[in-house]
Structure 1
Amino acid sequence: MILLCPPGVYKAQSDTHLLAGRVAQLAHGRHVLDLGTGTGALALTGARAGAQSVTAVDLSRRCVATTRLNFLLHRRPVRVHRGDLYEPVRGRRFGLIVANPPYVPSETSVLPRHTRGRSWDAGPTGRAILDRICDGAPEHLEDDGTLLLVHSAVCGPERTLERLAAAGLSAEVVDRARIPFGPVMRSRAQLLERSGLIEPGEHLEELVVVEARRG
């Protein structure tokens, strides 16, 4: 799938591709919401799989513009909103919510807004955005709706499952992949070791796809 990706926009990588496979299976006939859309890769996957409608949200103006251009390129309809996670779709419900959020642990809990780091920095535990997505999902899912998330195992998949259960959703890990550390994870290796999130000398990252449903 050809996607425009200008500087400053997160390029679809292994985590996006891993999640996209599950999105393609579940999007048909559903109203799809893509949180933190970036290039629009996951939103476009849903559209190509036969989604009834596709809505994409991102905090970055550049990502919003890029997603619109990519949907024009592929001649697909989409609603794109600039805003913070669920805020632009308050009061709306969806059959499928998908997200590849920032999840790399960072030195500080203050998250960047106007630098490239906003695509991956997620606070000391890597959960600053993940937890907000989990908490807000129930009020934006249809009765038979599904939430799909991808993140690194350094963030604690069990914590994601517990968070979703506390929100009233039934969740499980439905896919995994091990990949070499990318540039950001390599640059944070010492921080992750000091925090006890990885073993000394570790250089492989496990990605997990979490699926959550009502009940």
Structure 2
Amino acid sequence: MSEGVVSIARLKALIQERANASILFQLARDARRFILYHKWVIENGPLQVYASALVFSPTRSLVRSLFKAEEPKGITIKPNMRDEWSACLQTLEGHSGRVRSVAFSHDSTRLASASYDKTVKIWDASSGECLQTLKGHSGWVWSVTFSHDSTRLASASDDRTVKIWDASSGECLQTLKGHSGTVNSVTFSHDSTRLASASDDGTVKIWDASSGECL
């Protein structure tokens, strides 16, 4: 499904460059919204593309109109759906607890999320695929941020630590200890050399992002 999302996006971009292809472009755009919106349910039950995806698509969806004959005949009372797609492009599911913080990488290709399930997840921002699940914190993760070169990721936790991760491999590079309370927020400097953290202990700490030393 993730590959399908990327393929539809490429097709849409290719059609957009061609003259007199407005109808085909609208169909590709609608197909992309269809696959993004129903990605999770189709991945978990492929036949749901007919049993629920078509039925729970907007009434003016081009894909729904083209494949109307494929809708299950046994459904006599159908849900009251809106006419057009909503502003929500996709819903990313996978955390088992509340999600407290999200951050895009600065190249906009990835998205990181921090959760009460004590993990950080890195997602492909185009396909919605979960690329990494970062485990290591022993408490809720409150905040997450990418370095400005998008190579590292920092997370702040209820376990009173800040962790710095390799954003590609998911390896934990540093565990910064020094706060005596929950660490609620963390951010990189614009040159990615320093990291600042804010805590319930009433302090802000500035760290060397390479050595992990508190400056």
How would you bin the TM-score normalised by the shorter chain? under 0.3
Taking structure 1 as the reference length, the TM-score comes to 0.26
Q: Higher Cα Rg: structure 1 or 2?
A: 2
Q: Identify the structure with the greater helix proportion.
A: 1
Taking structure 2 as the reference length, the TM-score comes to 0.26
Higher relative contact order by CA 8 Å / sep ≥ 6: 1 or 2?
1
Q: Identify the structure with the greater strand proportion.
A: 2
